[in-house]
Amino acid sequence: MPVTYDLDGQKRAYATWAKFYDRIYQNMLARPQREAVEAACACGPDILEIGVGTGLTLSYFTPDSRVLGADLSLDMLKVAHRKVESQKLDHVHGLMVMDACRLGFGDERFDAVTAQFVITLVPNPEQALAEMDRVLKPGGEIIISSRLVDDGGLLAPFWSAVAPLSKAIGWSSDFKVSRLTEWAKATGRYETVHVGRGYFKVVRLRKHASADNAQSKA
Ligand SMILES: C[S@@+](CC[C@H](N)C(=O)[O-])C[C@H]1O[C@@H](n2cnc3c(N)ncnc32)[C@H](O)[C@@H]1O
């Protein structure tokens, strides 16, 4: 997975990856992707999938969901669009080119926002999280799946040490779980309800149902 921090570079990289992506990642990412989608569907029907890519996750959503997919790369979206057509994924209501840090939706539009294997690629993850927060309804969840490192885990220093090497071969190896959970805590409006285990993790951040609720938890 390319880790480049300029958006044009990202688009160029994924124009190439679009041709091979499914063959390499379909089986490798299926477990966390299914887990994230299941959690999103439990929140309600209106779901935004940021960095939807070639649409590997789209067939996992329930038929009664209403999914919008956004991605920086038109080339990846074209593959996703073919999937939606050929597999008749009628629950997918739209696919659009969009930057995670500038979402073109109104406030509190979605029951859940998922970002799978994309947060580590975004130049400013906190800005992307702020946008996810803006478009999420109270009571909804931001659901992230990615290669995330446990803070203080025995291997954390190892993953930090090999981070430059990982970037050279296209992986992010040192994005820590705490970057997400600390953001959630700092907002005063989110609770971390799940942090998965293993190499690929799902993290679920739940937005308090109302301002009153947030104050009572503060
Ligand atoms: C590793 S792929 C993951 C695709 C899909 N979510 C999956 O799980 O298979 C990362 C995707 O994120 C997209 N992406 C990277 N930076 C982005 C950004 N700033 N905003 C939106 N999408 C972005 C890329 O174009 C690519 O399609």
User: Tokens in use for 78?
Assistant: 């074209």
Instruction: Tell me whether residue 2 is in a domain.
Output: no
**pLDDT tens by residue, 74-114:** 999 999 999 999 999 999 999 999 999 999 999 999 999 99
Burial of 127 (C-beta count, 10 Å sphere; 0-12/13-18/19+): middle
Instruction: Tell me whether residue 204 is in a domain.
Output: yes
- Looking at residue 123, which CATH number applies to its domain? 3.40.50.150
Instruction: Tell me whether residue 91 is in a domain.
Output: yes
Which residue, by CA, sits nearest to atom 1 of ligand 1? 117
Instruction: Tell me whether residue 1 is in a domain.
Output: no
Number of domains within the chain: 1
DSSP SS3 for 27: coil
Spatial separation of the C-alpha atoms in residues 48 and 68, rounded to whole Å: 5
pLDDT higher than 50, residue 169: no
Q: Tell me, what DSSP letter sits at residue 68?
A: E
Å from CA of 218 to ligand 1 middle: 34
Instruction: Tell me whether residue 163 is in a domain.
Output: yes
- Indicate if ligand 1 lies below 6 Å from the C-beta of 76: yes
pLDDT mean over 51-75: 97
Strand partners, 206: 141, 191
| Torsion on CA atoms 139, 145, 147, 151, rounded to nearest 10 | 20
Residue 173: which domain range? 7-217
**pLDDT tens by residue, 125-165:** 999 999 999 999 999 999 999 999 987 666 666 656 655 55
What is this structure's pTM? 0.89
- Indicate if ligand 1 lies below 6 Å from the C-beta of 117: yes
Mutation test of ligand 1: which of 61, 119, 121 has the most ligand atoms closer than 8 Å to its C-beta? 121
